[in-house]
Amino acid sequence: MAWPWMAWPWIAGAWIAGAWIPGPPTPRLGDDPAGTEIRPLASPFSLGMVTVNPTPFLDLVAMTTLETAVASPSGAEAVGSHSLGLPDFSSASYKDAYSRINAIVIEGEQEAHDNYVSIGTLIPEQAEELSRLARMELKHMRGFTACANNLGVTADMPFAKEFFSPLHQNFQTALAEGKVVTCLLIQAILIEAFAISAYHIYIPVADPFARKITEGVVKDEYTHLNYGQEWLKANLATAREELEQANRQNLPLVRKMLQQVAADASVLQMEQEDLMADFLSSYQEALVEVGFTNREIAKMAAAALVG
Ligand code: PL3
Ligand code: FE2
Ligand code: FE2
């Protein structure tokens, strides 16, 4: 597959620098923005390319790992790792940032559950499969709740609800209008690509307990992304125009969310440029699978730049 090297490093750089929107990057709610270091993206950047089709065997392993890890949380697993170059998971600053990041993840998993159930009302013949995906999201939510408990952190849920509210609103509007293509783009492509990239960057710097949970979750998220890709691919002829419009309305929201999470993510040793580069990589790969050409994808990203 040809990689659109000319377009994507530039787009990623623009996302990171916030160069294509007027004014400064959106600050994280109620935070000192000084913690966000803005650096140019190295080009060509090294990305962990996304593998989209996990085998059923891997899914089984992931579920087993997740359930085992949830069943036996141990605070002892989470302390003292900063000597290995990892964050100090017991520091006040780590716990403070984690209270918001963890809440975002819990809220995201809960909303993902609700969204798949809702999409099932728009595609009744798929309701059973969608309810299977929804149940996986609840399991993810329980896993991340256990991660917070393991670190002695209370998730800041009001913060997370506000964080998701623009995307949530757009999903609800599309749902009320019966726009299944838009709902699938928001949930099964944009949100799943966001989750996959964030979990991907989080795993190497997570505490041992959370790492096990997240490794199990991220494999499930590929299944969800795959679901959206396959449905949209099968319906591309009729979905194309709505997809482009939904992309124009929602991709800028994801960019803002990535900017909003940057300061807290950096306390967890997750860097903004890695998050954005990985997101763009996952998103680009998903749109290729759906059937867009690299040029069309670059145009979709460009349309979002001015949105
Ligand atoms: C879809 O299945 C779930 C959607 C969740 C959205 C995730 C947003 C991620 C924000 C940055 C999180 C870093 C990972 C930390 C994990 C505790
Ligand atoms: Fe999930
Ligand atoms: Fe998911």
pLDDT at residue 262 greater than cutoff 70: yes
Q: Is residue 40 part of a domain?
A: no
The predicted-structure confidence for 108-117, as pLDDT tens digits, reads as follows 999 999 999 9
pLDDT value at residue 6: 38
3 Ramachandran zone, left/alpha/beta (phi>0; psi -120 to 50):
beta
Q: Is 80 left (phi over 0), alpha (psi -120 to 50) or beta?
A: left
Establish whether residue 192 lines the binding site of ligand 1, counting it when its CB lies within 6 angstroms of any ligand atom.
Answer: yes
| pLDDT higher than 60, residue 8 | no
Give the Cα separation of 127 and 246 in Å (integer): 23
| Closest protein CA for atom 2 of ligand 1 | 109
Q: Measuring CA to CA, which residue among 140, 92, 97, 134 is closest to residue 113?
A: 134
Residue 104: CB within 6 Å of ligand 1? yes
Distance of alpha carbon 121 from alpha carbon 84, whole angstroms: 48
pLDDT of residue 84: 74
Eight-class DSSP state of 300: H
pLDDT bucket at 23, cuts 50 / 70 / 90: very low
Range of the domain at 275: 54-305
CATH code: domain of residue 112: 1.20.1260.10
Q: Which is nearest to 303 in space by CA: 20, 16, 65, 35?
A: 20
- pLDDT higher than threshold 60 for residue 22: no
The residue behind tokens 């600053």 is: 93
Residue 303 — very low, low, confident or very high, per pLDDT cuts 50/70/90?
A: low
Say what the pTM is: 0.80
Q: Is 274 in the pocket of ligand 1 (CB under 6 A)?
A: no
The atom of ligand 1 lying closest to the CA of 140 is: 2
Ligand 3 centroid from CA 6, angstroms: 31
Three-state secondary-structure class, residue 19: coil
Contacting residues for 142 by C-beta, under 8 A, at least 6 apart = 70
Which residue among 96, 101, 157 is best mutated to probe the pocket of ligand 1, counting the most ligand atoms within 8 A of its Cβ? 101
Ligand 1: residue whose CA is nearest its atom 7? 195
Provide DSSP, 100-162: HHHHHHHHHHHHHHHHHHHHHHHSGGGHHHHHHHHHHHHHHHHHHHHHHHHHT----HHHHHH
Q: Is the CB of 198 under 6 A from ligand 1?
A: yes
Residue 10 lies in a domain: no
Residue 43 within any structural domain of the chain: no
Exposure of 261 by Cβ count < 10 A (0-12 exposed, 13-18 middle, 19+ buried)? buried
Provide DSSP, 179-206.
-HHHHHIIIIIIIHHHHHHHHHHHGGGS
158 within a domain of the structure (yes/no)? yes
Residue 86 lies in a domain: yes
Closest Cα to atom 5, ligand 1: which residue?
Answer: 108
Ligand nearest the Cα atom of residue 268: 1
**pLDDT top residue among 287 and 68:** 287
222 lines ligand 1 (CB under 6 A): no
pLDDT confidence bin for 200, thresholds 50/70/90: very high
Residue bearing the CA closest to ligand 1, atom 11: 198
Tally the domains of the chain.
1
For residue 270, what pLDDT band results from cuts at 50, 70 and 90? very high
Asked if residue 209 has its Cβ within 6 Å of ligand 1, the reply is no
Average pLDDT of the segment spanning 1-27: 43
Give the Å distance between the CA of 102 and the centre of ligand 2. Answer: 13
Helix (H, G, I), strand (E, B) or coil at 83: helix
Tell me how far the alpha carbon of residue 59 lies from the centroid of ligand 2, in angstroms: 13
Helix (H, G, I), strand (E, B) or coil at 51: coil
Any ligand 1 atom below 6 A from CB of 146: no
Residue 19 within a domain: no
191 CB near ligand 1 (under 6 Å): yes
